[in-house]
Structures are given as C-alpha cells and as structure tokens.
Amino acid sequence: MHNFRWLIANDALQIVQPDIFYFGGMIRSMRVARMAAAKGLECVPHISGSGLGHIYMAHFVSALPNAGPFHEYKGPSDDLPMTCETSTLQSDDGLITVPTGPGLGATIDPDYIKKHVLLKG
C-alpha cells in the first residue's frame, strides 16, 4: 500500500493495476483505486489464476469509481464446473453482464465439491 501511495503521489504512474488476488483482495485494491481516482488516474486491475477470478474481476470493475475502458477478462474455464443464472459470463460486443445473487452470483456444481477432501492441519 505504501508503494502505491508513493507512486501515485509522485506521478510515477499513468494508470494503477493492482492484482486483486496477490495484492490482498477487493478492499485493498479499492483503496488503491480511490487513491488513483483522487489524482485523476484510471484503475485497470490485473487478475491472476483462473477459477472464479473472472467473476471476481467483473464485480470489482463494476464498483470502481475510475474504471478504465478496457479490462483483462479471461472468461470461464472448464476446470471449475459452475452455472450462473444471471449472466452468460461471455463478452457481448466487449461488455459482460455482472452476475447477481449470493456470493459472486455463480453456483459451483455440488458433485464437484463433494469429490474434494478436507485437509486438516
């Protein structure tokens, strides 16, 4: 957070790109986005990995006060079976409908979840 604060305050960036997984989630990334907004900068976040990351990114970008015009969107993958009742999760002319509903708005296949074993530390 200190580094982003310094970079933004010293005009070292043209945009900010916090990685919403590696940087610590939506709250920390939103703090960076708001600092950038105060300086008139756009936020174009980065997302690593797969799974539900594409949905996580869609929710984050939809709440940004200073979202840039283009964003990374990896889209659904076959490695996590899920359904989404409120969005196709596909780009339609460059736009994605952000899912609504509990959690991220997607339901992971219960049979897929049952196959996994709880690890005890």
* Domain span holding position 107: 2-114
pLDDT per residue as tens digits for the range 17-69: 999 989 989 999 999 999 999 999 999 999 877 788 889 999 999 999 999 99
Structure confidence at residue 76 (pLDDT): 79
How many independent structural domains does the chain possess? 1
What residue has token string 């509990």?
Answer: 102
Q: What is the DSSP letter of 38?
A: H
Residue 119 lies in a domain: no
Residue 121 lies in a domain: no
Q: What is the CA radius of gyration of the chain?
A: 16
Q: Quick check: helix, strand or coil at residue 16?
A: strand
Q: Which CATH number is 25's domain given?
A: 3.20.20.120
Q: Please, what is the Cα angle at 92 between 87 and 93, to 5 degrees?
A: 155
Residue 109 lies in a domain: yes
pTM of the model: 0.86
| Distance in angstroms (rounded) separating the CA atoms of residues 61 and 59 | 6
Residue 120 lies in a domain: no
Structure confidence at residue 113 (pLDDT): 92
